[in-house]
Structure 1
Amino acid sequence: MATDHAPPPPPAADENPLRILLPQVLPALVVGVVASLLFLGIEALAEELEGVLWHDLPDALGIGDYSSLWIISMLTAAGIAVGLVIWKFPGHAGPDPASEGLGGAPLAPGIVPGLLLASTLSLALGVSLGPENPIIASNVALAYWLGRKAAPAVPGAFWISLASAATIGALFGTPVAAALVLSEALTGMPGRGSLWDRLFAPLVAAGAGAMTTQLLAEPSFDVGLPPLTDPGWGDLLAAMVIASAAALFGLGACYLFPYAHTVFRRLRHPMLMLPLGGLVLGLLGAIGGQLTLFKGLEQVKELTSSVGSWSSGELAKMAVIKLLALLVAASCGFRGGRIFPAVFIGAAFGLLAQALVPEVHPAVAVSSAVLGVLLATTRQGWISLFVGAALAASPSVLALLCLASLPAWLIVTGRPQLQLDHQGHALH
């Protein structure tokens, strides 16, 4: 995922930092709140539409919830609906998502309605993608456009950094994730002043976005795993082995991505690519069951609420099906992010490892597997560590994950990413 934008340059050595930083507070707060409200609005709309299409409508028709026929019908309908949006809306709902990361150059504001509609339909109709990429792209586009109109003298990178940080804070319910992502983006970039001076306004925006989300929606990454209170050498070995195995598993999708993308691109028209992709997703969903549908976070909580009740065969099937669903959804043109589906894949993989070796602590298994899959599919080290630790909700796990990330990173670094360049070739 790309984070190729940076906050504005720090103040010169002879300038008072307060005179530079204080005027940034108000725009950062405004961008943070608005970014969170847009995210929450799209989430709420998608949830309402999901309730109608997946519960009210099948009940009215006398069809069981999540029957195979209904899953196939809804995912095919998702392909048709999103295909129409991409075909007919101005800007075609943004560029090909296969070549877009978590960020990038601002889109034209006229593209935003189509992108948000395509993302909402994907979320509501069960496509295995999350909201992060479209929401970040939309908030960046709007903040950049409005910010440049309101204050033309302010560098455009300032508004990009505020919108990116605010949306990441809103998505994860904490500004910590935004700080970690931005610290990666700032590494090696020229500029004077402390890192905290450069992060000041983005962190204000991230904090405002996170607090708005917390106050209105109370998000939580706690999936109810039993806490790890006294980690030992066995836990460290398990974490390193599981993280490495999960990274290899996630790399499978990265290696297949260019080929799957090429197959769908040969169809050329969105009304062929998206409906076919939706049909394939429907067939996968019918095989994998309802937990393998949608973005994945709520499904992770359901999966981990019954540790020990899933057979190893069931968990392996869900991990494979969700990985294939993410691959297909990202290849055929559905608009959405890949972090949340990757979290489900990692959780299912970790529970599979725990089912095969019951001595492994569930928190170690799930958090280290999520770490490995995220490293493979995102190449965002800080985000991978943060999400893995947040799922375990246990400070003791963080030290294990830091060490487990080392062999996993050696496995994925330099390998194909789950992102392509504009010629359709894998990024490394």
Structure 2
Amino acid sequence: MTAPAEARPSPTLRELLLNRGYLRLLLFSLLLGVPIALACFFFVSLQHSLQHWVWESLPEAAGFDRAPWWWPLPALLLAGLIMAPIVTRMPGSGGHVPVFGLGGPPVGPDALPGVVLAALATLPLGVVLGPEAPLMAVGSGLALLALRTLRAEPEPRAGAVLATAGSTAAISTILGGPVAAAVMVIEAAGLGSAQLVALVLPCLAASAAGALVFTGFGEWTGLSIGALQLPEVPPNVNPDAGDFLWGLPVAVLIAVVVSACRTLGHRTVAWTKQQTAVRTVLCAVAVGGCLTAYALLTDRSPEEAALSGQTMLGKLAADPHAWSVAALVALVACKGLAWGICLGSLRGGPIFPAVLIGAAAAIACSGLPGFGATPALAVGMTAATATVTGLPLTSAVLSVLLTGPDAYNQMPLIVISSVIATLTTQFVQRKAPQAAHA
């Protein structure tokens, strides 16, 4: 037997970062962030405008003060009819199945038309999913398309880095800036130190360029992108012992609720594997039924339970007492069921609706003695995000960015809520492995 060849030592961080090929990759990532951000800006702006037209302008033109209770039924039926041929016939099936998270291999250029069509034609109709997953798919697809157009064929690892940088540039602003997106890359990658830095730097460069483009174009055009943000939060309150006493069990409760919705999503995936087209339409109609049920139970607009929830989250944070506890419970139940069905049958991002579900559940509990609305909001957003992403650090950073000036006071509660929700999620998944991976 011959002796095995001596393993080549891994390059040091200095050697890796000063390599000419890597520096070209870093520069290309920075330049790539600008056109990708431009394309994604108009993509998200168009999606937001269509959403406004379907749920506000069109009902007003029909003579209604707001979308009537039955509005989601034809809207979601149309979404299902559009989605069925995309899922069954177009390359890429319209993107990743959202119940499996934001991960998966980068979306190639051939799958881009299906992703764009699925997002622009169905999300505005009331599908209870966010724009973050399609946005990341567009970013990675455009990055790979740029390589193909330039007839550049980098090694597979470099191509993967560029695709990741494109995704990060696309999602950075809608998550509140490049910091949250970079932390997500760091936590999701799970790489060693040198490889981690090598991946993060192109992503930071691309996302920073993208954030500048998003900010400049937003001010210049006046177009809205519906980013996940809280224009207002409840009055600044330092969390006390009562907030921690109630906040930790509420974090557990939210983790259980969100995990149950994800289990429904896994079961929906299994159910739609056969007769996919027909069952996709049936799932969309069921989502419409959930939204209609919310409107009938609360005598409020079905729009509050539809869509991704960015706008509703801002309204909830600005005036958490405008909803009764019964209305908030109905929102969690109806939107949670609709979201669970969408996770396994339609296309979009899983994070944004989960944040609203967690916030609504926590605000419903804020009437407990000694549990304030501001700490409840922080607990709800953090616990839901940690449960749906499995990334506790990313969840804490995102909640800190959302709470704004009050983040310093809420940070200990945010961090412990992220830890508790992550542990609870793992416990629930261990207790029901078959349901989680069906």
Q: TM-score, normalised by structure 1?
A: 0.86
- Aligned pairs (5 A) from 1:211-222: 211-217=212-218, 219=227, 221-222=229-230
Match of 1:348 among 351, 356, 360: 360
CA 10–76 in structure 1, closer or farther in 2 if over 3 Å, else same: farther
Contiguous gaps of at least 5 residues in structure 2:
1-8, 220-226, 295-301
Aligned equivalents of 1:296, 1:346: Cα separation in 2: 11
| 1:396 has 2:409 as partner | yes
The amino acid that maps onto 1:254 is R
Write the distance in 2 (CA, Å) between the matches of 1:35 and 1:264: 33
Deviation for aligned residue 1:125: 0.6
Match of 1:4 in 2: none
Shift of 1:52: 3.2
Corresponding residue of 2:147: 147
- Report the more deviating stretch, 54-63 or 200-209: 54-63
1:250/1:207 CA distance change after superposition, 3 Å: same
Aligned-partner Cα distance in 1 for 2:421–2:93: 37
Name the aligned partner's letter for residue 249 of structure 2. Answer: V
Q: Using the TM superposition, give the Cα deviation of residue 216 of structure 1 relative to its aligned residue in structure 2, in angstroms.
A: 2.6
Q: Which residue of 1 aligns with 2:299?
A: none
- CA–CA distance in 2 between the matches of 1:251 and 1:209? 33
Determine if contact 2:94/2:118 at 8 Å carries over to the other structure.
yes
Change (3 A) 1:222 1:339: same
**1:297 paired to 2:297:** no
Provide the C-alpha distance between the structure 2 equivalents of 1:256 and 1:171, rounded to a whole number of angstroms. Answer: 27
What amino acid sits opposite 2:119 in the alignment? S
1:281 corresponds to: 287
C-alpha deviation, 1:91, in angstroms: 4.2
Residue 220 of structure 1, CA deviation? 6.1
Partner of residue 331, structure 1: 344
Secondary structure of the corresponding residue to residue 173 of structure 2: helix
In the aligned structure 1, how far is the partner of 2:415 from the partner of 2:23? Answer: 36
What are the within-5 Å matches in structure 2 for residues 12-411 of structure 1?
A: 12=12, 15=15, 17-18=17-18, 20=20, 22-63=23-64, 65-94=66-95, 97-98=97-98, 100-147=100-147, 150=150, 151-154=152-155, 155-187=158-190, 189-190=191-192, 192=194, 196-217=197-218, 219=227, 221-266=229-274, 268-270=275-277, 272-288=278-294, 289-332=302-345, 334-354=346-366, 356-357=367-368, 359-393=370-404, 394=406, 395-411=408-424
1-side partners of 2:167 and 2:84: how far apart?
A: 27
Amino acid at match of 2:78: A
Amino acid at match of 2:56: H
8 Å contact from structure 1 (residues 132, 337) kept in 2? yes
**Separation in 2 of the partners of 1:286 and 1:223?**
28
1:69 match: secondary structure: coil
How big is the alpha-carbon RMSD for the aligned residues of Structure 1 and Structure 2? 2.8
Contact 2:329 2:361 in 1 (8 A): yes
C-alpha separation in 2, matches of 1:13 and 1:92: 39
- Distance change in 2, residues 1:277/1:256 (3 Å): closer
Counterpart of 2:268, as a letter, is: A
Instruction: State the Cα distance separating 1:171 from its structure 2 match.
Output: 2.3
Q: For residues 173 and 75 of structure 1, do their structure 2 counterparts lie closer, same or farther at Cα, with a shift above 3 Å needed? A: same
The structural deviation recorded for 1:32 is 1.8
Alignment TM-score, normalising by the size of structure 2: 0.84
Quick one: distance in 2 between partners of 1:276 and 1:173?
Answer: 35
Cα deviation code 1:372-405 (max 9, x no counterpart): 1222222121222123223322221112211222
Q: Deviations over 1:245-287 (max 9, x none)?
A: 2112212113333323333334x132x1232122111111112
Give the superposition deviation at 1:166.
1.3
Q: Distance in 2 between matches of 1:348 and 1:265?
A: 32
Q: CA deviation at 1:169?
A: 1.1
Distance 2:36 2:82 in 1: 26
Q: Measure, in 2, the Cα distance between the counterparts of 1:196 and 1:13.
A: 8
* 1: CA distance, partners of 2:292 / 2:23: 54
Q: Which amino acid aligns with 1:123?
A: L
Greater Cα shift, 36-45 or 284-293? 36-45
Separation (CA, whole Å) in 2 of partners of 1:125 and 1:312: 27
Amino acid in structure 2 at the alignment position of 1:381: P
Shift of 1:231: 3.0
**1:54-82 deviation line (CA, Å, top 9, x unaligned):** 33433444455311222211111111122
1:225 positional shift: 1.6
Contact 1:255/1:416 (8 A) holds in 2: no
- SS of the residue corresponding to residue 281 of structure 1 reads helix
For 1:70, give the aligned amino acid. W
Contact 2:133–2:349 under 8 Å retained in 1: yes
Q: CA deviation at 1:362?
A: 1.2
Cα gap change, 1:10/1:142 in structure 2, threshold over 3 Å: closer, same or farther?
farther
Q: Is this contact kept in 2: 1:246–1:370, CA < 8 A?
A: no
Q: Judge which range, 35-44 or 84-93, deviates more.
A: 84-93
Counterpart amino acid of residue 73 in structure 1: P
Q: Which letter does structure 1 place at the counterpart of 2:393?
A: W
For each residue in 1:6-51, what CA deviation from the matched residue of structure 2 results, as whole angstroms up to 9, or x when unmatched? xxx9964673844546434431222222332232222221223233
Matched letter for residue 348 of structure 1: A
Q: Secondary structure at the match of 2:230?
A: coil
Asked if the contact 1:167/1:206 (under 8 Å) is kept, the reply is yes
Q: 1:331 and 1:239 mapped to 2: Cα distance?
A: 30
Report the counterpart of residue 224 of structure 2 in structure 1.
none
| Cα separation, partners in 2 of 1:383 and 1:13, compared to 1, 3 Å | closer
Question: Any conservation in 2 of the 1:254–1:416 contact (CA below 8 Å)?
Answer: no
Partner Cα separation in structure 1 for residue 303 and residue 16 of structure 2: 57
Give the 3-state SS of the residue equivalent to 1:224 in structure 2: coil
